[in-house]
A and B are shown apart, each in its own frame.
Chain A
Amino acid sequence: MNRFVYLDHSATTPVDQKVLEAMLPFFSMDFGNPNSLHTWGRKARQAVDQARDEVSRLINAEPSEIIFTGGGSEADNIAIKGVAFAKKDKGRHIITSAIEHHAVLDTCKWLEKEGFDITILPVDEYGTIRPEELRKAIRPDTILVTIHFANNEIGTVQPIEQLGNICREQGVLFHTDAVQAAGHISIDVKKLPIDLMTMAAHKMYGPKGVGALYIKKGVKIVPLIHGGGQERGLRSGTENTAGIVGFGKAAALASDRLAKDETEKERNLRDRLIDGILEKIEDAMLTGHRTERLPFHASFCFRYIEGESLLLRLDALGIGASSGSACTSGSLEPSHVLLAIGLPHEIAHGSLRLTLGKDTSEEDIDYVLENLPKVVESLRAMSPYGKRG
């Protein structure tokens, strides 16, 4: 094996060395419970407060508008069920989109069984939700719209400002799952019409198992987890101090990268990867929007071959990729996202996602561009549908 090229940063990112160093003291040295009044507790409380500052600064929120959670899925659940239960006497209609993460879609489907009414908006061929579709779907009893900031499988960034403005006009709360976007795209919640927003540390070089929910001042939700009243009573349970400190550091580093426009390098490498693949491989298509997409995200479908074979053959060459969402790769149905953008099943089966990281190099991209065409070729040679020489 020549190299190891990890291109699955949408699934998860490595913990940054600086993040790890910031976290380590909070396991055994500064181990106090942030809710304790003594020296040990105060030290932990101070660290959690600092992390809250750092995470709020990443999106220009107030620290009091951030609650820490046990990850992105949990934050989605708190936001959606929390609003649903808080507003159920006002209305029971919730709007979402066909290409949300399962943490959002399955939460909505569960609420449907509990007597809520769910509208699932379609998307166009690029995976974009049309604002006029949203406008048409809002009803007097609509209480919440939940649409992700950017898609994990095809990288498309949604017209969040337009979507949020429609919600504001209609007096409907707007939640966005920004797990893929936060830390990679500048987000300013003072400028964008967002009421609730989900983030996850491990998608921005922080640890797994820590997320955050931005809740705009004045927005009322009902907690799902009751207990000691931590996180303003919205998420009880002793704080995961080390994880939260790690999230804070990761958010601070992400703010620095965004301020220095370091994502430009990633964007350029991504473009070289996309252009190279489409040029070198026949019957390949980019999925998602060409320009309105995450700066680190490239995704494709290759005809006549199947995605799992492709990713396992790439893995054997030291290239870490994914086919569709990591969460759906264990199932036989092609991804709901690829079907929603109108791809036929047989094409959707041949999907490949390559997501770059801050440390991805020119050489890494060269290595993929050299090897991916060969792997595709070898699998096509084996396929009854492949082109024959």
Chain B
Amino acid sequence: MYTEKLMQLFMNPKNVGRIEDADGIGEVGNPVCGDVMKIYLKIEDDRIVDVKFETFGCAAAIATSSMVTELVKGKTIEEALKVSNKDVAEALGGLPPQKVHCSLLAEEGIKAAVDDYLAKKDKTKREASETRQCAKA
């Protein structure tokens, strides 16, 4: 059901861990739904110089986390915000239909981390605590 590329990344994910002095942190998902993704960004001059993730979830959640961190690394935050769930799924060679929500989570994880960075930067509080509903297959 999973592509070879996805299984490779699931078995050997890249960018796992946390960044202690992260400039932006995004946490999306819900343990009740079975997947939570936490993205840490290190940003210099509006460019993502380092990115790490921690994920609780299935193989697809772990692989999409890994893939999205690779896709945004080195990009400006503007470019990073353009990385869509489709880009993530395509880079993995496709996702089974019931796992598409994992790629959405990856896209949202980056957006949440960038939002957090911008909020801190602007010192304006943004509401980033939208409650997510469990994705349906």
**A332 at interface, CB cutoff 8 A:** yes
Q: Which residue of the partner chain B has the closest CB to A334?
A: B34
Pairwise interchain contact B134-A305, C-beta atoms closer than 8 A: no
Pairwise interchain contact B34-A345, C-beta atoms closer than 8 A: yes
Q: Which residue of the partner chain A has the closest CB to B13?
A: A382
Which one of A330, A332, A346, A382 lies within 8 Å of B31 (CB-CB)?
A: A346
Identify which of residues 1-57 in chain B touch chain A, using a CB-to-CB cut-off of 8 Å: 7, 10-11, 13, 16, 27, 31-38, 54-57
How far does the alpha carbon of A330 sit from the alpha carbon of B27 in the complex, in Å?
Answer: 25
Which one of B7, B10, B36, B58 lies within 8 Å of A384 (CB-CB)?
A: B36
**A306 at interface, CB cutoff 8 A:** yes
How far does the alpha carbon of A334 sit from the alpha carbon of B98 in the complex, in Å?
Answer: 14
Which one of A304, A309, A334, A349 lies within 8 Å of B62 (CB-CB)?
A: A309
Q: Please, which residues of chain A bring their CB within 8 A of the CB of B134?
A: 332
Given A332-B33, A345-B31, A382-B16, A306 contacting B58 (CB threshold 8 A): yes
Pairwise interchain contact B55-A383, C-beta atoms closer than 8 A: yes
| B: number of interface residues (CB 8 Å) | 28
Pairwise interchain contact A384-B33, C-beta atoms closer than 8 A: no
**A289 at interface, CB cutoff 8 A:** no
Pairwise interchain contact A384-B59, C-beta atoms closer than 8 A: no
Pairwise interchain contact B54-A382, C-beta atoms closer than 8 A: yes
Among the interface residues A306, A334, A385, which one has the most CB atoms of the partner chain B within 10 A?
Answer: A306
| A: number of interface residues (CB 8 Å) | 22
1/0 contact trace for A220-264 toward B, CB 8 Å?
000000000000000000000000000000000000000000000
**B61 at interface, CB cutoff 8 A:** yes
Identify which of residues 336-358 in chain A touch chain B, using a CB-to-CB cut-off of 8 Å: 344-346, 349
Q: Please, which residues of chain A bring their CB within 8 A of the CB of B32?
A: 344-346
In the assembled complex, how far is the CB of residue B15 from the closest CB belonging to chain A, in whole angstroms? 11
Pairwise interchain contact A384-B56, C-beta atoms closer than 8 A: yes
How far does the alpha carbon of A84 sit from the alpha carbon of B54 in the complex, in Å?
Answer: 52
Pairwise interchain contact B56-A305, C-beta atoms closer than 8 A: yes
Which one of A332, A381, A382 lies within 8 Å of B34 (CB-CB)?
A: A332
Q: Which residue of the partner chain B has the closest CB to A304?
A: B56
In the assembled complex, how far is the CB of residue B70 from the closest CB belonging to chain A, in whole angstroms? 16
How far does the alpha carbon of A345 sit from the alpha carbon of B32 in the complex, in Å?
Answer: 5
How far does the alpha carbon of A309 sit from the alpha carbon of B9 in the complex, in Å?
Answer: 12
Q: List 19 A-B contacts (CB under 8 A).
A: A304-B56, A306-B35, A306-B57, A308-B58, A309-B57, A309-B59, A312-B10, A313-B11, A332-B101, A345-B31, A381-B16, A382-B13, A382-B62, A384-B38, A384-B54, A384-B55, A385-B36, A385-B56, A386-B54
Interface of B toward A, CB cutoff 8 Å: 7, 10-11, 13, 16, 27, 31-38, 54-59, 61-62, 98, 101, 134-137
Besides A312-B59, A345-B33, A382-B62, 15 more A-B contacts (Cβ < 8 Å) are A306-B34, A306-B35, A308-B59, A309-B58, A309-B59, A316-B11, A331-B137, A332-B134, A345-B34, A346-B31, A382-B13, A382-B55, A384-B37, A384-B38, A385-B31
